[in-house]
Amino acid sequence: MAKILAVLSSGYRDREYHTGWWGEELFAPLQALERAGHVVDLASPLGGKPEIDERSLLPEYDPQGTYQALYESGRADDTQKLSDVTPEVYDAVLIVGGHGAMFDLAKNQDLHQVINTIYDRGGIVAAECHGPSVLVYTTRPNGKSIVDGLKVTGYPDVWEPGDVVPYLPYSLEQELRKIAEYVPELEQKAFAVWGNQQIITSRDPFSSELMGKELVQALQGK
């Protein structure tokens, strides 16, 4: 049995725009990991109940209502505060996507410390969709990003909703391209890539099940 820390955005709001974490990107990997007998804890910058991106529960993204039901069950209502996390007890950290990750996770020093501690102990660092924004700013002792020079993926510019782009603080794709080998693989229905034996990134919400499968396989024997 392994222990995994899933990290969610607490949410971002201004007068015209609000966002948070993406339903499928938590619940699809969480279900796969729990079915395999692993334990998944949740954390967010503020602790408590983090704000979900309500679009992730719309029929076009959740046609069977699977993630709506899990959300309404309260499974994600109680998260640890990132500053209170003890990273040494975890075998992996999963950074859940959604545009919120770009705002309150990407440059969060508590999260960077959690990631580096788990990585230094031989654990897995996983990030979905917009979650790789965190890895851009997570630096190693040499001052370089933890994904410097590695193959990575993440939500591509060409798919960003036009009505959302004006509110985003930066382009995830362009930030990744500055430091890593960005691979979008736009023709594949689902895509995830291992940058090395410990770091995996996935491209979009529809790659969430694949992320779950990859993590289950990598954590076999734990």
Between CA 205 and CA 39 the distance in angstroms is 22
Report the alpha-carbon angle 198-203-208, nearest 5.
80
What pLDDT does residue 163 have?
93
Phi-psi label, residue 122: left if phi above 0, alpha if psi -120 to 50, beta otherwise: left
Q: Which amino acid is at 124?
A: I
DSSP reduced 3-state for 28: helix
Query: The pTM is what?
Result: 0.97
Q: CA neighbours within 13 Å on the CB side: how many for 174? A: 7
Between CA 130 and CA 124 the distance in angstroms is 18
Between CA 127 and CA 144 the distance in angstroms is 18
Q: 6-23: b or e for each residue (b if 16 or more CB lie within 10 Å)?
A: bbbbbbbeeeeeebbbbb
49 within 8 A of 13, measured Cβ to Cβ: no
Note the CATH architecture for domain 3-218. Answer: 3-Layer(aba) Sandwich (3.40)
Residue for token digits 């729990």?
Answer: 34
What pLDDT does residue 15 have?
83
Here the contacts of 188-194 (C-beta below 8 Å, separation 24 or greater) are: 191/153, 192/153, 193/151, 193/152, 193/153, 194/151
Q: Dihedral angle at the C-alpha atoms of 181, 105, 96, 60, nearest 10 degrees? A: -100
135 within 8 A of 146, measured Cβ to Cβ: yes
User: Each residue's pLDDT tens digit in the chain (222 positions)?
Assistant: 999 999 999 999 988 899 999 999 999 999 999 999 999 999 999 999 999 999 999 999 999 999 999 999 999 999 999 999 999 999 999 999 999 999 999 999 999 999 999 999 999 999 999 999 999 999 999 999 999 999 999 999 999 999 999 999 999 999 999 999 999 999 999 999 999 999 999 999 999 999 999 999 999 988
79 within 8 A of 8, measured Cβ to Cβ: yes
Q: Where are the domains of the chain?
A: 3-218
What pLDDT does residue 221 have?
80
DSSP reduced 3-state for 193: strand
DSSP reduced 3-state for 43: strand
What pLDDT does residue 222 have?
80
Strand pairing of 199-202 and 192-194? antiparallel
Q: What string of H, E and C letters represents the secondary structure of 72-107?
A: HCCCCCCEEEHHHCCHHHCCEEEECCCCHHHHHCCC
